[in-house]
A and B are shown apart, each in its own frame.
Chain A
């Protein structure tokens, strides 16, 4: 089964929860960090890295000798990655989405596949034998989804090969990158905090992910700090609160040292084990909220 740990708001504790879940998961599991802009999961799971592979997007390269400046490619491109300006055909590979359209419309075969580096996919294994995959977006690269798709493909292949469950640490928000991370999951775990910002963004996430028809549960992190409106919202909308992690200075300092929360003490370990069990049950029952 695949659990995607997501959140409308950044900084609620997605990575904290993902790392802890992976560390207590009873069946063979792998951890995938899909927050490719700011991957943090490895800071807690501390895998030994086995490989790092550059991932590229196919972008057009121009053979100027063959180009007749007809402009068919520039006319076609929806993203202004190719532009015919007077006698120059200019390429802007950083704008390219990799659709391949220009390559197919060129009547002279003057365009061929080049590449733009999106970032890297790193594969490692933790001391507890948990495979860990991380995507890392090249600084300056604007688009996350292409790298995320490659990462997901690799993760999926390993999951099938090794018959593992998967815990996905998703990026924050509800736009395209977050959707890409959660859409294939069997259950989505929304991490929130009991504050006005937390509630607002939880509501956004719940509305955004509902149409996917995937069962959703909530973890309230830093419980006790703020108000009780998040609990109220969950009750009203029949959104199960699967765990609460109370705010404490100890927890905050443990996190600030890079500690996996489930290893703080026996109580915390039990809390995450119970959460894992509830998630499995939700995934099996396939209960969704229309």
Chain B
């Protein structure tokens, strides 16, 4: 299923700006750039609360995304537990997004270049 514009997009990011690199990790990502696609307005959501956990970081990260109102997630890869959590929360996930800036990831998403995943990467 090709990606189509949705309202609120989250990208795992190594920093708070659109020029920062996509963080390929989900659970232990530094944070998320969360953007409202219609207006282009975005903010940075810190994911520190997940990083400190001994286990279940992906689950906490999902909770953080739900609180931020995200509907779509762009990231490198997601583990099986996080996948289950994301699925339950109703988020659509694009994996394999890495080695590019957040800005580029969003642009490619808007252009319909990404496909939604139907399973965790591993």
A contact residues vs B (CB 8 Å cutoff): 74, 79-81, 83-86, 88, 90, 92, 95
Q: Are B63 and A79 in contact (CB under 8 A)?
A: no
Which residues in A have their C-beta under 8 angstroms from that of B85? 83, 85, 90
Q: Are A86 and B88 in contact (CB under 8 A)?
A: yes
In angstroms, Cα B34 to Cα A25, docked, is 67
Q: Residue of B at shortest CB range from A77? A: B56
| 12 cross-chain CB contacts under 8 A | A74-B63, A79-B55, A80-B57, A84-B63, A85-B85, A86-B89, A86-B90, A88-B88, A88-B89, A90-B59, A92-B56, A92-B59
Q: How far is the CB of A251 from chain B (nearest CB, A)?
A: 42
Given contacts A85-B63, A85-B66, A92-B81, whether A80 and B89 have CB atoms under 8 Å apart is: no
A contacts with B: majority SS: mixed
Residues of B within 8 A of A (CB-CB), count? 16
Which residues in B have their C-beta under 8 angstroms from that of A88? 88-89
Q: How far is the CB of B50 from chain A (nearest CB, A)?
A: 9
B49-74 interface bits toward A, Cβ cutoff 8 Å, 1 = contact, 0 = none: 00001111101101100100000000
With A79-B54, A85-B89, A86-B90 given, name 19 new contacts (CB 8 A).
Answer: A79-B55, A79-B56, A80-B53, A80-B57, A80-B59, A83-B59, A83-B63, A85-B85, A86-B88, A86-B89, A88-B88, A88-B89, A90-B59, A90-B84, A92-B56, A92-B84, A95-B55, A95-B56, A95-B81
Q: Are A85 and B53 in contact (CB under 8 A)?
A: no
Q: How far is the CB of A237 from chain B (nearest CB, A)?
A: 33
In angstroms, Cα B56 to Cα A84, docked, is 13
Indicate which residue in A81, A85, A86 contacts B56 across the interface (CB closer than 8 Å): A81
Most buried by B among A80, A81, A90, A92: A80
Which residues in B have their C-beta under 8 angstroms from that of A80? 53, 55-57, 59-60
